[in-house]
Structures are given as structure tokens and as C-alpha cells.
A and B are shown apart, each in its own frame.
Chain A
Amino acid sequence: MSTSRTYKRQIPLALTFIVGMIVTFDWFISWDPLQSLTTTLMNYQIVMVAFMMGFAGVNLVYLHSRRIQRSMSENKLYDALLSAVLLACLFIWIIVGVGLGMGSDQYTWLFNTFNQSLSATAYAATLFYLASATYRVLRIRSAETGILLLVGFITICANIPLFKAYFPFLGTIIVWISDGLVKYSYRAITIGVGLGGILMGVRTLLAMETGYLGATEE
């Protein structure tokens, strides 16, 4: 039991600590072996993370093949069709992209037609949620929201070339806002977040944040 715990838990945790320390000290120490070791480790990281990008695909296959089965048994044919189309797209794209190459005319056509229009619109369409939030929710309810609205109002005006061309003072105000108000209040946040990030690193290397190991048993 205890040896299995060593292999399953303690060695990985020790590995995290050692590798983290190597990479950290590479920043401060000029020593060629250390430098080439970290560069190699980082190249390994690129490969490992690339492999992990396949997880999303595996999860989709798992989730949607189950959903097809369930929808078929419940007679929800459209739902089954949706999942089937999703999986078909997944496989066609991977086959064409890996088989014929990403630079091939076929993959370029698929990408330009589907990926580009869908991604671009999916992000852009948030405009409507945002617009409806500005119209229906943004109210001067308190001093805080009042300030938020005032600065927001000035910024929208300043972002519109139409206004900025006719009211040059907007340019001066927006510079004061961005290079002063925003820069320095966000600096306080940056310092806090930065320190928080370092402490998160300390906890991880000291094996106090072990969520990344997955399932808690053992």
C-alpha cells in the first residue's frame, strides 16, 4: 500500500517540486548546462501540452456517442442528429487536416467556410448580450455604478471617431482616464494578482494544491 502511494502520489509531487525549482533558478543563474536543461524541459512541455489538446476530442466522442444512444432510445431524433453532425465534423476535419495537410486547398476551404465564419460570429454575437445589458441593466443605482457609468459613457464617446473629431477635449480626458485612473488602479490589482500567483506557485510546489493529480483517493 505504502509503496504504491509512493509511486502514485509522492514521486509525481516531488517531480513537480524539482522541475519547478530548476526552471525558477534558471532565471537567476547563468550556467550553460542549466540553461540547456530548461530549454529542453520547455520543449518537452510543448509536446506534452500538444498531446493533451486531444483530450477535448476524446471527451466529445465520449459525451456525444452516449447522447446519440440516449436520444435514439427516447426518440429525440433531432438531438441525435445534432450529436452525429458534431462527431462527423470532428472526424472529417481531423482526417482532412492530418491526412492532406493543413496547407492543402481542401482544409483551407473547410476552415475558411466553417471555422472562420462560426468563430467570428460566435464572439461577435456577444455584442447583442452586451448591448441589451447596457440598455436594460446599466443604471445609476449607487455612487459606484454612477462612477462606472460616467467613465463608461465618456469612453464610448471617445471611442467613436465621430465625436472625437468634433470634440477634441475628449481626447485629453480619455488619456487622463487610461494613462492615469485605469493604469494606476489596475496596477494595484496587478500587484495583488501577481503576488497571489507566486503564492499559488509556492503552494503547488509544496504539494498543497494537488487538484491537478485528479481523483482524490490514494
Chain B
Amino acid sequence: MADVIGTWIAALLTIAITSLAWKDQPVSKMANHIYIGVVTANSIVQAWQNIMNVGINKILAGEFLYIIAILLGLLTYTRYSKASFWVYRYPIALVMGIGVGTSMRGLVGGSFLDQIRDSFFQLAVPGDAMTSVNNVIFFVILLSSLSYFLFTIRAFRSETAMKFSLLGRYAMMGAFGYSFANTIATRINQYAGRIAFLLIDWLHIAG
């Protein structure tokens, strides 16, 4: 019984949210408000499980240093007090430092050095004209796109250099076309999932 009611509610909510694309009206507004409430609540519930798993359980098991983590976590809520707002800065400063350090150290290898290392093209592949031509094209695409993002180097402001970087802009536009079309595929896929739900689980038409 609970399943049947659940399916009906889910189906009606699906339709209500879809209608939002058409026009903003009372029913879709209600669905939207429920949505915000339940999504926020779920993330709080999951966060709670995380605090238990990574923090409180360890304290119970005797790792008392994790009391500091819990305290720091609680201190974040001082941001709602005007007088002791500054206390909030301690945990956020730690979070910021750890986050920045973690991403910075990985960016050097991941988005700089490894990217260069993977860009050494063999421009003349013996006996494979097609690959050679492609490699020359890709080499030009990469360099021209890269030169498009030079803003403070005067040498790259000559007319030829600007034309070269314009080539990069065109290449990127092509890449955006790919991305755009892929987004359409993503959304159709997701909507297909909803239609499958409506037709199979709710209306039992197809299967």
C-alpha cells in the first residue's frame, strides 16, 4: 500500500516539476518548495552520519584528539552571533588552508606538467600520412588556443599572433558545440528515466 501511495506521489511531483518549464503556477511552486526542504534535510542527515563515522565514533573508541574536530565544527555556528562572529574564522581558516593546499599541490602535476608531457606530437609519422596530418592539426589547435589566453605579453599582440589566437577561439567554439550537444544528450537521458518511471512504474503501460 505504501508503495502504491509512494508511486502516485512521486508521479504527481514529477508532473508538477515538469510543468514549471511551461509556466510558474501554484502547484509547481509547492513542488519546488518541498524540493528545497527535503534536499536540504537529506544533506543534513547525511552530514550527521559523517560526523558520527569520522568523528564521534573515534572519540568513543578512545581517540580523544577528535574532540577538537567536533569542537571546531561546533564553533562554525558562532557565525550567527554578531559579538563572537570572529570565532568562526578559526575553523574556516583551517578549512580554507587544508582545501587550498590540497588542490594547489595537485594542480601543478595534473593540470600543468602532465598536460605538457602528453602534448609532444610526432608530426611526421612514417607511413601514416593521416596521423601525421591530424597531429599537425592538433598541434596547431593546442598552441593557438593556448596563445588566446595570453593577456599581459606584448609580443603576442602583433597582427599575426592575434590571427593565430583567433584560430584557437574558433577551435574552442567547435569544442563548445560538442559540449552543448552532449548536454542535450544528458538531459534527454535523464528525462527518459522519468518517462520510463511514469510509463512502467506508475501507469504499467510499457515494460
Q: Which residues of A line the B interface, CB within 8 A?
A: 7-9, 11-13, 15-24, 26-28, 40-58, 60, 78, 82-83, 85-94, 97-98, 102, 107, 109-131, 134, 143-145, 147-156, 159, 176-178, 180-195, 197-198, 200-202, 204-205, 212-215, 218
State whether B54 touches A50 (Cβ < 8 A). yes
State whether A17 touches B97 (Cβ < 8 A). yes
State whether A112 touches B6 (Cβ < 8 A). yes
How many Å from the CB of B57 to the closest CB on chain A?
A: 11
CA distance A144 to B182 in the complex (A): 19
How many Å from the CB of A193 to the closest CB on chain B?
A: 7
State whether B187 touches A130 (Cβ < 8 A). yes
CA distance A196 to B156 in the complex (A): 19
CA distance A177 to B67 in the complex (A): 53
* CB contact between B33 and one of A15, A43, A82 (< 8 Å): that residue: A82
Given contacts A131-B184, A185-B168, A195-B112, whether A124 and B42 have CB atoms under 8 Å apart is: no
Given contacts A15-B97, A214-B88, whether A151 and B105 have CB atoms under 8 Å apart is: no
Closest to A148 in B: B177
CA distance A124 to B79 in the complex (A): 36
CA distance A54 to B45 in the complex (A): 9
State whether A156 touches B181 (Cβ < 8 A). yes
Residue from A12, A149, A214 with most neighbouring chain B CB atoms (10 Å) = A12
Given contacts A117-B13, A127-B188, A148-B173, whether A86 and B42 have CB atoms under 8 Å apart is: no
Q: Which residues of B line the A interface, CB within 8 A?
A: 2, 5-7, 9-11, 13-14, 17-18, 20-22, 26, 29-31, 33-51, 54-55, 65-66, 68-70, 72-74, 76-77, 79-80, 85-86, 88-108, 110-112, 115-116, 119, 134, 137-138, 141-142, 145-146, 148-149, 168-185, 187-188, 190-191, 193-194, 197
Inter-chain pairs besides A48-B94, A127-B188, A191-B116, 7 sampled, C-beta below 8 Å:
A20-B101, A50-B50, A52-B76, A85-B33, A93-B38, A93-B45, A113-B10
CA distance A94 to B46 in the complex (A): 10
Task: State the majority secondary structure of interface residues on A.
Answer: helix
User: What A residues does B13 contact at CB under 8 A?
Assistant: 114, 117-118, 121
State whether B51 touches A184 (Cβ < 8 A). no
CA distance A121 to B178 in the complex (A): 24
State whether B142 touches A117 (Cβ < 8 A). no
State whether A120 touches B190 (Cβ < 8 A). yes
CA distance A44 to B55 in the complex (A): 8
Closest to B5 in A: A113
